[in-house]
Amino acid sequence: MTDISVRELPLFPLPDVVLFPQEVLPLHIFESRYRMMLKSVLETDSLFGIVRLNPATKTIADVGCSAQIIKHQTSADGRSNIVSLGQQRFRILEIIREAPFYTAMVSWIDDENVADQDELLRLSSSVLLALKDVVSLTGKLTDSERSLPEELPDLPRELSFWIASHLGGPVAEEQQKLLEILDTQSRLEREYEMLDTTRKQLAARTALKETLSNADQKNN
């Protein structure tokens, strides 16, 4: 990554897609303007910005995440398949142009180190336990095998990004809020609230399912 705090960056707005640092994002490039963007990006430092496009308002978010192209393949008809990796978050300062593709001046942003590290580690453990409970209860409720990856991020900030990126369901608006938080503790606290609420809901549904199942067995 560059050390320059402000730079010009091509933008790729995507409907309800929120990219987080260190997350992989495969993309299929077929529109002519984004073919031009890809060519320009590959000729420089292979870096561009992913920003959430709100489908309802047709507006793009002020905060996004830069993506580094780590693989690309272009077919004879000009379409490309690329694999990108989330790098650093940024805030849009000014849209320089919208055609042929969006380009903006952006400033890099990162979490502020304001929390006690021991407290962050305790909070991370609570969040991780809630996440494991949600996965386990989901498996019981759906009668399926569910498990987390063997290697999850160890550092609190990276764990908070991973969890935010893997929230289930139509949660782009919530993901955008998590992306914009500049405090690891606040992000983890919000994720704990969400996971704990989900955990309680799943526990109640699982208990109801088991009660109904036991009742059926008695009747039979």
Residues 6+ apart with CB under 8 A from 105: 6, 7, 8, 9, 92, 93, 94, 96
Looking at the chain, how many residues does it have?
220
Long-range contacts of 124-127 (CB under 8 A, 24+ apart): 124/156, 124/159, 124/160, 124/188, 126/192, 127/159, 127/160, 127/163, 127/188, 127/191, 127/192, 127/195
Q: Which residue has the higher pLDDT, 138 or 220?
A: 138
Query: What average pLDDT does range 24-49 have in this prediction?
Result: 94
Q: Give domain limits for the chain.
A: 6-108, 117-219
Residues of the chain with pLDDT > 70: what percent? Answer: 94
Q: What is the mean pLDDT of the chain?
A: 91
**pLDDT tens readout for residues 157-212:** 999 999 999 987 778 999 999 999 999 999 999 999 999 999 999 999 988 877 77
pLDDT value at residue 117: 87
Query: What average pLDDT does range 57-68 have in this prediction?
Result: 96
**pLDDT tens readout for residues 144-153:** 877 888 889 9
Class of domain 6-108: mainly beta
Query: What average pLDDT does range 15-37 have in this prediction?
Result: 95
pTM (2 d.p.): 0.88
**Residues forming a β-bridge with 81:** 28, 73
- 3-state DSSP call for residue 211? helix
Residues of the chain with pLDDT > 90: what percent? Answer: 75
Q: Which residue has the higher pLDDT, 139 or 90?
A: 90
**pLDDT tens readout for residues 163-176:** 999 987 778 999 99
pLDDT value at residue 2: 42
Q: 194 — phi, psi (to 5°)?
A: -65, -45
* Model confidence band, residue 3 (pLDDT cutoffs 50, 70, 90): very low
**Residues forming a β-bridge with 64:** 90
